Chains A and B, each alone.
Chain A
Amino acid sequence: EAQVTQNPRYLITVTGKKLTVTCSQNMNHEYMSWYRQDPGLGLRQIYYSMNVEVTDKGDVPEGYKVSRKEKRNFPLILESPSPNQTSLYFCASSPPPGLTYEQYFGPGTRLTVT
């Protein structure tokens, strides 16, 4: 089944404890992206990657890191999480712009930082 998977789905952590949220897709998509969703602020893009070893900032990159060493994986790293990073996080992937460029979303990761 074609899908985007995220792990963990739920995470409660404490301020300052480094964490990684994994994202993997099995559709051989070049493009991957991370978003956060907050009440009243909607979905905002954190980082995106057009291909392996190519990443770029979205609208809210502060406090996050990403890497794209393999096509299928795009982990989101919080080096020193803070309570304002409590949010619902979504990973997405899509084929390149020459095709439909339709985004497929993972199920989300609900992160709470205390």
Chain B
Amino acid sequence: KQEVTQIPAALSVPEGENLVLNCSFTDSAIYNLQWFRQDPGKGLTSLLLIQSSQREQTSGRLNASLDKSSGRSTLYIAASQPGDSATYLCAVRNAGKSTFGDGTTLTVKP
């Protein structure tokens, strides 16, 4: 059974810092890995999707990498802003099944 772990569970940084969120998974036979953002009590906003054949994806200040062989992905956020405060979730797809990590709750202090 696929298991997904996100470390750290919570992170607090001052505005302007660069930071890295980690996601690890146990079964490397994945179709893709997707990073989401969730604000309190709200839905999921897709940030980046990395196909199993890709190594990284970039969107603005966000960069996600994937090392399928080691079962790891990182989400790099450059020049963090208070508006980046949210919970970040990663999800892996194996055929029809999706498994989510528990998320990293990020607080960016002004």
Contact = CB atoms under 8 A, between A and B. Distances in A.
Contacts of A59: 97, 99
- Chain B interface bracket (under 10, 10 to 19, 20 to 34, 35 or more): 20 to 34
Nearest to A103: B34
Interface in A11-52: 31, 33, 35, 42-45, 48, 50
A103 B96 contact: no
Contacts of B98: 33, 35, 45, 48, 58, 92, 103
A42 B44 contact: no
A104 interface: yes
B51 interface: yes
Question: What is the interface of chain A mostly: helix, strand, loop, or mixed?
Answer: strand
A59 B99 CA distance: 9
B89 interface: yes
Contact of A42 (B42, B97, B101): B101
A59 B94 CA distance: 13
Q: Which of A35, A56, A101 has the most CB of B within 10 A?
A: A101
Interface of B: 31-32, 34, 36, 42-44, 46, 49, 51, 89, 91, 93, 95-103
Interface of A: 31, 33, 35, 42-45, 48, 50, 56, 58-59, 90, 92, 97, 100-108
